[in-house]
Amino acid sequence: AQSVTQLGSHVSVSEGALVLLRCNYSSSVPPYLFWYVQYPNQGLQLLLKYTTGATLVKGINGFEAEFKKSETSFHLTKPSAHMSDAAEYFCAVSGLSYQLTFGKGTKLSVIP
Amino acid sequence: DAGVIQSPRHEVTEMGQEVTLRCKPISGHDYLFWYRQTMMRGLELLIYFNNNVPIDDSGMPEDRFSAKMPNASFSTLKIQPSEPRDSAVYFCASSHPAGPGGDTQYFGPGTRLTVL
């Protein structure tokens, strides 16, 4: 069984500030981890994913995430927030099956 | 590729009516997923197909919900009869796994269903 916990349903940052969105997972098998972004009235779009290999994963739009097995975490970061980053972000986990288990999502607001 | 296509984008219906949501996956993708998104429950997997065969429908909330995939390029999710608590955004996603796990799912734009 797998589960995902995203800490903070809403996060606000100033434009140019660091973005940090937290994700912790639970998995009985080595996990595959994902971050998706959802802009208003749109479907989900993949930001980045961890499968195997390097634990620091770089994605689109300057985002990156680090897989930390000891902490069961996969936090998403971006050094400098842009207004266009305002969206909802979902962390997800899968195991050997193709099912994704999503967290509840974190809505990011960027303050000018 | 046009991506995953869903129709209609918006549906407003009255309680008791039948609702049919449609999805066209990305060509060549052999997995298709139906999700429901609500404020209270977040994103829930309802059912998924592999090569047009339903693999896991344990997320389907009740017998009023049914899903079919008659061919590789078309799937439907039907609710009969519909109830106000079915109001949600329904997403279809497709993928083409290269190995066990770790594959990207590509999402459609969703259908926003409102049941009055």
Which residues of chain A lie closer than 8 angstroms to B31, CB-CB? Answer: 98
DSSP assignment of B41-83, as one string?
Answer: TEEEEEEEEETTEEEE-TT--STTEEEEEEETTEEEEEESS--
Whether B112 shows a pLDDT value over 90: the answer reads: yes
What is the structure's pLDDT at A97?
Answer: 74
Q: Cis link prior to B84 (omega < 30° from 0)? A: no
Q: Is B7 an 8 Å CB contact of chain A?
A: no
pLDDT tens-digit map of A26-82: 988 888 999 999 998 889 999 999 988 888 999 999 999 999 999 999 999 999 999
* Residue B40: partners with Cβ closer than 8 Å, 6 or more residues away: none
Which residues of chain B lie closer than 8 angstroms to A94, CB-CB? Answer: 101-102
Which residues of chain B lie closer than 8 angstroms to A104, CB-CB? Answer: 42
pLDDT tens-digit map of B34-93: 999 998 989 999 999 999 999 999 999 889 999 999 999 999 999 999 999 999 999 999
Contacts 24+ apart (CB under 8 A), A4-7: A4/A91, A4/A92, A4/A93, A4/A101, A4/A102, A4/A103, A5/A103, A6/A89, A6/A90, A6/A91, A6/A103, A6/A104, A6/A105, A6/A106, A7/A106
Question: Quick one: closest CA in A to B4, which residue?
Answer: A43
Question: Which among A81, A104, A100 is positioned nearest to A8, based on CA atoms?
Answer: A104
User: Pick from B33, B42, B101: which is nearest to A95 by CB?
Assistant: B101
Residues A101-109, mean pLDDT to the nearest whole number: 95
* Contact flag A42-B110 (C-beta cutoff 8 Å): yes
Selected residue of B31, B36, B91, B105 to mutate for chain A interface (largest A Cβ count, 10 A):
B105
Token reading at B44: 């829930």
Which residues of chain A lie closer than 8 angstroms to B107, CB-CB? Answer: 36, 43-45
B 12-41 residues with CB below 8 A of A?
A: 31, 33
Give the integer Cα–Cα distance in Å for A18 and B37.
29
Does residue A43 contact residue B107 with C-beta atoms inside 8 Å? yes
Assign B110 a pLDDT band (cuts: 50, 70, 90). very high
- Give the Cβ contact number of residue B27 at 10 Å: 11
The distance of Cα B57 from the centroid of its chain, to the nearest Å, equals 11
What is the structure's pLDDT at B100?
Answer: 63
User: Pick from A49, A101, A103: which is nearest to B104 by CB?
Assistant: A49
What is the structure's pLDDT at A61?
Answer: 93
Element spanning A12, H or E: strand A10-14
Calculate how close chain B gets to A18, using CA atoms only, in Å: 26
